[in-house]
Structure 1
Amino acid sequence: MGQRDGRRTRAPYDTGHGTRLTRRGRALVAVLCLAVLLGGGSLAWAAWQNGGDPVRLPWTDGGKPKVPVAESPGDASESPGEVSESPPSRKRDESSVPRAGTGTFATARLTGTPVGTGTLRRYQVQVENGSGIAPDQAATEIQAIVAHPEGWARNGRGRFQLVAEAPDFVIRIASPDTADKLCGEAGLDTEGELNCETGKGVVVNLRRWVLGSPQFAGTPATYRHLIINHELGHALGLGHLGCPGPGRPAPVMMQQIKGLEGCRSNAWPFDANRTYLSGPAL
């Protein structure tokens, strides 16, 4: 076969190197050609049955593959003990936070649905004018923190409702100077850095709200969970706790900004199994 008049003739699709392409090989060539046309020269791999080696088409960018970059997961809330390190791009310089505000506050005009069980505690959210934080935005975020599955309300420790008027207590976000003044009136020294619960309500230091804490291995948004949960714990009559042991989640009622003592950063009172994350009383 393949002989005519004493001369050897090439069969269709003969490679010219003494190797004929099988039907499968011809189909493979067609697929590879189509890949070049449709893929603009991107990488195509095929199992070359005759020789057993893969055939790779050339790159169009000098031989370097284009690897898709995954998008950042953002500030999604992690589970206790699994808080991820904040990406450097999320770190903000302290100079971006005003040291002092106007001393006056704007009130969020939102009202929410009660969450939790027990005695209802109505809270209002106020933000110092000049802080750069929108009151309704802050109230929406705080409401979500209060309703978190691993928070106080969802685990039978309290019933809370965001209101615009007639609150039982107020959560204020204030510049460091104003926070020191408000906390100082209750005999608390917050040193321009800390938050407090005064008996009349919660004072959140704007620096901590925006920047998080250098001791906390998580994003500022996650740290805000810790701020609210810690101060609400005080409103529920709870005191400070210590680290229960190296490598364990730090209790919410631990002053984590002052050091973790071997514990892991944690922003929630309960874990995913509804277990209260406690520690030694201080």
Structure 2
Amino acid sequence: MDRPAADTPRKPARVRVPYEASGRYVTVRGEDAPRAGRGPVIRYRVEVERGLPYRGQEFAAQVHRTLNDPRGWGRFRRVDSGPVRLSVALSSPATTNRQCLPLNTGGDLSCWNGSRSVINAVRWAKGVPQYADLGAYRQYVISHEVGHGLGHGHRSCPRRGAKAPVMAQQSKSLGGCRPNPWPYPRSAA
């Protein structure tokens, strides 16, 4: 049975997100260790656009829990300085549009732009109809966009009723699949 991480609220507080904020990112200060285990550790940074109604530490904590979940891509260390493999940035719709070019996000989608997972703050606030659980949708969008940063391309629903691959464009449609926020949903949590 799929479940959100134990410390992920099922119904995060809803907030009003401005269409346009400052266009400038602030790196969330602090570091978080990777989960225990084997394998390489990926260094990453979390950024939040100035003027958004979110606390950077809360966003960074949810990103870190998602990336280091046993059902996730691997082991990640959050840092606030030095070299990183990728960044995860919470962005207003206007900044998302600019950051994601030449992709036309319509102020609605998130993207990977070559160095940064650009998470659209409106989608972060509202989710999508096909995900009844906003916390699970947030896990999906982080997993999906970071998946692009790790070199994974889009996939489609393998068969009706199956769990959607995390690299399926679940924000647009489930294509007959069920929602799934994880790259490895069968792994023990």
Q: Which runs of 5+ in 1 are unaligned?
A: 1-75, 79-85, 154-158, 275-282
Shift of 1:199: 1.2
Q: Distance in 2 between matches of 1:273 and 1:104?
A: 37
Instruction: Work out the CA distance in 2 between the residues paired with 1:224 and 1:117.
Output: 26
After superposition, where does 1:182-201 map in structure 2 within 5 Å?
182-184=99-101, 187-201=102-116
Counting only pairs closer than 5 Å after superposition, residues 128-277 of structure 1 correspond to structure 2 as: 128-153=49-74, 159-166=75-82, 167-184=84-101, 187-216=102-131, 218-273=132-187
Q: Offset of 1:132 from its aligned partner?
A: 0.7
Which has the bigger relative contact order, CA under 8 A and spacing at least 6?
2
Matched AA of 1:106: V
User: In 2, Cα distance between the equivalents of 1:91 and 1:119?
Assistant: 35
Q: Could you tell me whether the CA contact under 8 Å between 1:195 and 1:204 is conserved in 2?
A: yes
After superposition, residues 93-132 of structure 1 pair within 5 angstroms as 96-115=16-35, 117-132=38-53
User: How far apart, in 1, do the equivalents of 2:87 and 2:183 lie?
Assistant: 21
Q: How much identity, in percent, do the aligned residues show?
A: 37
1:157-184 residue CA offsets vs partner (Å, 9 max, x unmatched):
xx32100112332111000011101111
CA distance in 2, matches of 1:200, 1:92: 29
What secondary structure sits across from 1:191 in the alignment?
coil
Q: Would the alpha carbon gap of residues 114 and 92 (structure 1) be closer, same or farther in structure 2, given more than 3 Å must change?
A: closer
The TM-score normalised by the length of structure 2 is 0.87
Counterpart Cα distance in 2 of 1:142 and 1:119: 18
Q: CA deviation at 1:196?
A: 0.6
Report the CA distance between 1:265 and its aligned residue.
0.9
| Deviation at residue 271 of structure 1 after TM alignment | 2.1
- Structure 2 unmatched runs, 5+: none
Letter in 2 for 1:148: D
Q: Deviations over 1:77-107 (max 9, x none)?
A: 17xxxxxxx87xx7958xx221111112222
1: CA distance between counterparts of 2:22 and 2:118? 15
On the 8 A contact 2:48/2:90 being kept in 1, the answer is yes
8 A contact 1:180–1:190 mirrored in 2: yes
Question: What is the alpha-carbon root mean square deviation over aligned residues?
Answer: 2.1
Which secondary structure does the structure 1 equivalent of 2:171 belong to? helix
Letter in 2 for 1:240: H
SS, match of residue 231 in structure 1: helix
CA distance in 1, matches of 2:161, 2:116: 33
Q: Does the 8 Å CA contact 1:105/1:127 hold for their aligned counterparts?
A: yes
* Superimposed CA distance per residue, residues 195-251 of structure 1 (whole angstroms, 9 cap, x where no aligned partner): 1111111100001111111222x3222111101110111111111000111111111
SS at match of 2:118: strand
Q: CA deviation at 1:117?
A: 4.4
The answer (yes or no) to whether the contact 1:245–1:263 under 8 Å persists in 2 is: yes
Alpha carbons of structure 1 residues 107 and 180: separation in structure 2 relative to 1, 3 Å: same
Aligned-partner SS, 2:60: helix
Q: May I ask how many residue pairs the two structures share in their alignment?
A: 180
SS of alignment partner, residue 81 of structure 2: coil
Distance 2:108 2:13 in 1: 17
Please state whether the residue corresponding to 1:144 is helix, strand or coil: helix
Tell me: CA distance 1:273–1:128, structure 2 relative to 1, closer, same or farther (3 Å).
closer
